[in-house]
Structure formats: structure tokens, C-alpha cells
Chains A and B, each alone.
Chain A
Amino acid sequence: MSDHPDTWSRPPFIANPWLRWATYIGLAVYVVWVLATIPIDWGRVVEGVERAGRIFGGAFPPSFERSGLLIDGFLESIKIAVLATAGGVALSIPIAFMAARNVAPMPVFYLGRAFIIVARSFHPVIVAIIFVKAVGFGPFAGVLTLVVYSIGFVAKMLAERIEEIDMGQVEAMRASGAPFLSTLFYAVFPQIMPRQIGLTIYQLDSNLRASAVVGIVGAGGIGATLANAFGRYDYDFALAITIVIVAVILVSEGVSGYIRKRVG
């Protein structure tokens, strides 16, 4: 009976021992290097504890005194989100068709993809500061920013959906002699419509969230109000704004989820 082995070890995650040890050592070296070189002023951090106490002390209780300002900021955020969603979705549709491998010719396809990659790669806040410099402070810069942001997401998802459509339906339309636009309306749109509606609602929710942020760099909406409150050390008003932002985001997420469930 004792001819059975009495040791066992789990098969390693990376089979090649050289690669395995190289990965482990590489990770360890990276962590040590980052911790050693990262410029953190620990003295300043210690002061931070006391400062945090002061900030939170100043923030409680949240102040809703200037609720007029709060409501105006929010209405502006909602307007920005609505306009950006409408514009972004409208522009996303042609870009998505450009970026779908199965319907666009190769050069157009690359152009469409490039649009989407650029729109996706830049955080809305970066896009916002550029637009603020180009078209001035205010909600218009916010709308333009979120249009770009919407294209990055909606056009990408829509292009993927278009690439998945059943070409049989398109062929059937062509076989019956339907012209290009009719084919589009009868064979392609019905297939992408449910996804399109879901994406639009999702993006409206996303844009509302993002509109709270782009304001911090001057692109209008509640974010501008929040940044001002922070800048003036009005921490109680800042907390009030934050609470309302969280509440609105939760409600918006709930509503958007409910509608998408109903539609999709």
C-alpha cells in the first residue's frame, strides 16, 4: 500500500517555471520601486488627518440654504445631459455604420473606428477643458463634451450590434429588389432598434453622471456649483450638493434600469 506518493502540490498557475518566477520577481520589483519612488509627503499626510476633521466638522450639518443655486445647477446639468444625449445618439448612428465591418468599405471603416477610439480614450474632463478653451465657459462646452463622450460609447456598442445582424434578412430585401434605404429601414433598423433604445437610455443616465463632473473644469451644470463651493471652503454646501448628486444618480439609475428592462 505504501507505493502511493505522499506529497502533492497544486499545479502552478503559470506552467513555465522561468516565466513564473520572472513574473513574480517582476511584480515584486515593481511594487518596491513604486513605493520607493512615489512622491508622497508623509508629513503633509499627517496634517491631513486634522484637516479632514476640520472639513467634516465644517460639512455637518449639510446646508440647503442656497437651494435655489442647487436647483439651478441641477436643471442645467439635466439640460446638458438631454441635449448631449440627443446630439450624441444622432451622430452615433452614422458613425456606427461607418465603423461596422460588415456594411462599411474598408477606408470608411478605419475612419469610423478612429473616431470612436479617440472619443473613448479621452476622459470627458480632458475633452471639457479643451472645449472650455475653444468655446468659452458654460454649458455649451459641457454639451459638446458629452456629445463626444456619448459617441465613444453608443457608436461603439451600436457598431458591434450592427456587425452581429443577420445578413439573411438584408439579402432577402435585396432579393426582392428593395432600394438601399428601404433595405436599411426594413432589414437593418428593426434588428438594431431595441439595442439603440436601451443604449440611449443608458447614455442619458451616464451623461447625467458625467455632467456633474465636467462642470468642475468650467463646463456648466451642478459640477460648477460644487467646484465653487469647494473653492470657497463652503463645505456644508458642498456636502449638500454631493448628497443631492448621489440621490439624483440613484434615482436616475433606478429609472433607467426599469425602462431598459421594460423595453429590452
Chain B
Amino acid sequence: MSSIAEQFGREDWTRHTPKQKARRFGTFAACAAAIAWALTSIEVIWAWVWDSPEQMGDLFGRMYPPDPTNLGAILRVLLETVNIATIATAIAVIMSLPVAYIAAQNTTPNRATLWIGRLILVTSRSVNTIIWALLFVAIFGPGVLAGIVAIMFRSIGFIGKLLGEAIEEIDKRPVEALEATGASRFKVIAYAIVPQVMPTFWAVSILRWDINLRESTVLGLVGAGGIGIILQGAIDTFNWPEAATVLIAILVLVILGEIVSAFLRRRIL
């Protein structure tokens, strides 16, 4: 009895053609080279690196047990953090509506407005909240306002982009139908476009609120209000047990925020 291989006269099989092999090898080599380049040229003191597990252990050791004596103040500032995130998200949502409108190809009045809209979105999105916060702390001085404005500036781009894409993807047929009834542009928007983007609007707003909750916990590190100020204070004074309490409080806040936004998403959508 002859085996299948003998019958068909072929005993070797490879998954990839030589060209595919070369490409895969090239990709791997490029990745390896990038990592090697980064490893060899990065300016780190390797003694510190080898020492780091011990240092980390030491740090966490000093954090335990967390010190809850300042818990009242921490919770009060935590609430302020939530307020920063919520107010900033609310204002950003409202301000992003006209931006989304002019940045969507099918609703923008003309090419110039389209590019203005896109410029606003790109600028807002590419600059991180913390960098915006640096700028606004320089302008308004340290405090809550700088934080609110920083979060707003970053959120407008995020919400505006996703909302603009939702406007571009709407079903155009109801728009056509309402235009055929002789309704004005504004009423066509209110009746044919707004209802269609409402689900995205809520989903994006909730998502951004959740993200902003996280971002608002670090604003204080550059002086823009919120829980970060207390964390920075505790770390600067080497009060590690209190820093641990703050970290736990932030963890609980973020998890609660995620639960709340999941609940809202289920209820509204």
C-alpha cells in the first residue's frame, strides 16, 4: 500500500511562499531592530533598573497600611473632581454640536467651514488634556477653572469627531423626504438629522464623561484642581500611607464611574 505522499509525489509542504517568508522575516527583523535601537540608545541608568523591583517593593511597603485620617477632605475633593468632569463634559457636548455640524461633509455650508471644522477637531484632539491644562494654568492661574477649560478643549474634538462621523453616516432618504415637503433647512435638521444622531450623541457623551472622570484625577498634578493636588501633596511630603488612600479612592471613583456609565448606556440606548 502506498502512502498519499507517494501517490502524489510530494512530501514537503510549507505554509508560506518564499516571498511571504521574506516579508514576514523582514517585518520581524524591523521590529527587533527597532527594539534593539531603543534599548541600546535610551539614556537610563541600568543600575537603577536592576534595583527597581526592590524600590517598588519598598514603596508599596511604605504605603501599607493606608492612612484614612484625611478621608473626609479626600472625599470632598473627589466630589469636586467629579464636578469638574461633569460640568466640563456638559459644556463640551454643547459646544461640539456646531463643530460637528460644520465638520460633517453632508451638512457643512461650504468648503471653508468644512476645513475650519476639521482644524478645530484636529487641534483639540491632538493636544492632550494635560498639555491643555498646562496652558490654562498659565493663563487662569492654578485652580478648578483651568481644569474645566482644559477638559472642555480636549473633549470638543473627541465628541465633535465622532458626532460628525455619525452625521455623515445618516440615512439620507428621510432628509430628501422632508426637503420635498418644503421644510426649511433648520427644520430638516431638527426632524431628519437630529433623531438619527441622537443614539450616537448619548453614547459619545457618556463615553467621554467616563474618560473625563479619569483625566480629571490628574489635573491637580499640574495645578488645575481636583484630587491630583492632594495626591501630589502627599507624594511631595513622602506621606505614602495617605497617598495610598488617595489612590484607592481614585480606583473606587473610576470603577463607580464605569458602572454608572454602563447603567446610563443601557437605560438610554
Contacts and interface: CB of A to CB of B under 8 A. Distances in A.
Contacts of A121: 214, 250-251, 254-255
B217 A126 contact: yes
Nearest to A84: B38
Interface in A118-166: 118, 120-123, 125-126, 129-130, 133-136, 138-140, 143-144
Nearest to B36: A82
Given A83-B35, A123-B214, A51 B247 contact: no
Given A38-B87, A140-B49, A246 B34 contact: no
Q: Which 4 A-B pairs have the closest CB atoms?
A: A79-B38, A121-B254, A246-B126, A125-B218
Interface range on chain B (Cβ under 8 Å from partner): 35 or more
Interface stretch (A62-70, A104-112, A169-177, A210-218): A210-218
B143 A213 contact: no
Nearest to B215: A123
B86 A34 contact: yes
A76 B42 contact: yes
The residue among B31, B126, B250 with the most chain A CB atoms within 10 A of its own CB is: B126
A118 B255 CA distance: 9
B83 A38 contact: yes
Contacts of B49: 135, 140
B156 interface: no
Interface in B174-228: 214-215, 217-218, 221-222, 228
27 contacts: A41-B141, A44-B140, A48-B140, A51-B139, A51-B140, A55-B135, A55-B139, A75-B41, A79-B37, A79-B41, A82-B38, A86-B35, A122-B250, A123-B215, A125-B221, A126-B218, A129-B231, A130-B59, A133-B235, A134-B55, A138-B44, A139-B44, A140-B52, A213-B131, A230-B138, A245-B126, A250-B126
Given A41-B143, A126-B247, 6 more contacts: A51-B139, A121-B214, A123-B214, A123-B218, A126-B221, A138-B44
Contacts of A86: 31, 35
B210 to A, nearest CB: 11
A39 B144 CA distance: 7
B122 interface: yes
Contacts of A40: 143-145
B113 interface: no
B145 A246 contact: no
B247 A213 contact: no
A249 to B, nearest CB: 5
Contacts of B145: 40-41, 45
B255 to A, nearest CB: 6
Contacts of B122: 246, 250
B106 interface: no
Interface string A213-244: 10011000000001100100000000000100
Interface in A29-88: 34, 38-41, 44-45, 47-48, 51-52, 55, 75-76, 78-80, 82-83, 86
Contacts of A226: 131, 134
Contacts of B215: 123
A83 B42 CA distance: 10
B45 interface: yes
